Amino acid sequence: MTELARATVSRKRLVRRRVWANHSYWAVLGAIFVGFFVAALTPDAAWATSLLVLVQCATLLIAIWTAGWGVTDRTISFGLAVIGAAGASVNLFVQGVTLTSALNIFAGLLTAAIAVVVAAGAVSQGEVNTRSVAGAICVYILLGMIFLFAYSVISTLGTGPFFAQGTDGSRALRLYFSYTTLATLGYGDYTAAGNLGHTIAVLEALLGQLYLVTVVAVVVTRLGRPTRPLRDE
């Protein structure tokens, strides 16, 4: 590649980064809350599960756009969204324990992919600003969603009830349990049963507290400090 060609590519990358820098993670946060309310307010029906997976797919694509990465540059993330949409469509016509479990696992992978894209995009800005704060909030909320799907898989495939109260609960109830655990509120009205449930719940509580006292604390303390300009690559 000639020097002129390299310079042209660098200028294009700089322009793209400056355009992408105007994208706001608040849009991603809004999409995440749509998924949150779908999980919280819809019944445990096939159409609701498919709707939730489709919302997660759309959120992943919004996160890719917001982070400033071309869809073609992130084939794996885009592939997850396409496969998730296909699985959600199939679930509308073919229901079963295996497919439900597979969709819950895939929804967890989608949610994890959203968190990775948001985190990587926020870091690649090279500065701490309000978009970074929104990105940090997005990841925190996504942690609760990831564990929701983990609990759903355990309740679907487990031999006994997920909760010590003798029930697997609904998706809405598991969502409630996930976020009260993440925030370490410890209401005690519902508790996990079995060693696996206990382990996952403790892991979620630890991650929730460590995230708040490390990532969020660092982002907030660095907000407003002088930042370095964008550099050519």
pLDDT at 18: 46
Q: Identify the pLDDT of residue 42.
A: 93
Residues in the chain: 233
What's the burial of 50, exposed, middle or buried (CB within 10 Å: 0-12/13-18/19+)?
Answer: buried
For residue 192, what are the β-bridge partners? Answer: 163
Among left, alpha and beta (phi > 0; psi -120 to 50; other), residue 63 is: alpha
Mean pLDDT, range 154-177, rounded to an integer: 90
Measured CA to CA, the distance from residue 167 to residue 148 in angstroms comes to 16
29 has pLDDT over 80: yes
Q: What is the CA radius of gyration of the chain?
A: 20
State the Cα–Cα distance between residues 92 and 48, nearest whole angstrom: 9
Identify the pLDDT of residue 232.
Answer: 41
Q: Which of 6-10, 29-33, 79-83, 165-169 has the lowest mean pLDDT?
A: 6-10
Cα distance between the two ends of the chain: 15
Q: What is the mean pLDDT of residues 129-137?
A: 82
Which comes out higher in pLDDT, residue 165 or 78? 165
| Cβ neighbourhood burial of 133 (10 Å; 0-12, 13-18, 19+) | middle
Q: How confident is the model at residue 88 (pLDDT cuts 50, 70, 90)?
A: confident
Q: What is the dihedral of CA 145, 149, 150, 152, to 10 degrees?
A: 130
Strand, helix or coil for residue 40: helix
Looking at 54-58, 192-196, 212-216, which range is the least confident one?
212-216
Using the predicted structure, report yes or no on whether residue 8 has a pLDDT greater than 80. no
Structure tokens at 69: 């990465």
Q: Are 108 and 146 in contact (CB under 8 A)?
A: yes
